[in-house]
Amino acid sequence: MAQDAQAHEHAAGLTEEEAHHIVPLSVYYRVFAALMVLLVITLFAAYFDLASIWGPLNIVIAMTIAMVKAVLIVLYFMHVRYSSKITWFFAGATVIFLIILFTFALCDYFSRGWMPGPWQMSIPLQQG
């Protein structure tokens, strides 16, 4: 009983759209169709070696398509599109944190060859 009362109190503070938003099935079908088209584009792009145009072009295209698919999934299947501003804030904060994480990881990865490791250093022997 107490939980029902709390749920009603919480729902009373929300707008009609925030309290209950029904997404038509046609939206899900369109998003699914878009994801399938992007899958075919990903497979099609994987067959071409675009290094002759620009070295990392393949990975740029693949990551761009992957980001578009991820945005569609987060917005529609995770219902962020119809959520409150605080949900948008935390979804954005997660993306910013992920960018920071990848930046630090890639900085470490790309700097590995710049300095010799301990196994590559020669230690002078002291005599006497």
Host domain of residue 32: 22-78
d(CA 28, CA 77): 8
One domain for residues 57 and 88: no
The residue whose two tokens read 């145009």 is 53
Range 77-99 average pLDDT: 91
One domain for residues 74 and 35: yes
One domain for residues 27 and 64: yes
One domain for residues 74 and 88: no
Are the C-beta atoms of 106 and 41 separated by less than 8 Å?
no
One domain for residues 26 and 74: yes
pTM of this prediction? 0.64
Closest CA to 77 of 65, 67, 69: 69
d(CA 38, CA 79): 20
For 60-80, give one letter per residue: b (16+ CB within 10 A) or e: ebeeeeeeebeebeeebeeeb
d(CA 5, CA 91): 29
- 113 has pLDDT over 60: yes
One domain for residues 37 and 56: yes
Residue 16 in any domain: the answer is: no
One domain for residues 56 and 92: no
Are the C-beta atoms of 69 and 35 separated by less than 8 Å?
yes
One domain for residues 69 and 88: no
Name the band, by pLDDT with cuts 50, 70 and 90, for residue 94.
very high
One domain for residues 32 and 72: yes
Averaged pLDDT score across all residues of the chain:
81
Rounded percentage of the chain residues whose pLDDT exceeds 70: 73
- 1 has pLDDT over 60: no
d(CA 69, CA 32): 10
For the chain, how many residues are written? 128
Quote the number of domains for the chain: 2
Residue 50 in any domain: the answer is: yes
Residue 59 in any domain: the answer is: yes
pLDDT in tens, 9-53: 555 555 555 556 788 899 999 999 999 999 999 999 888 887 788
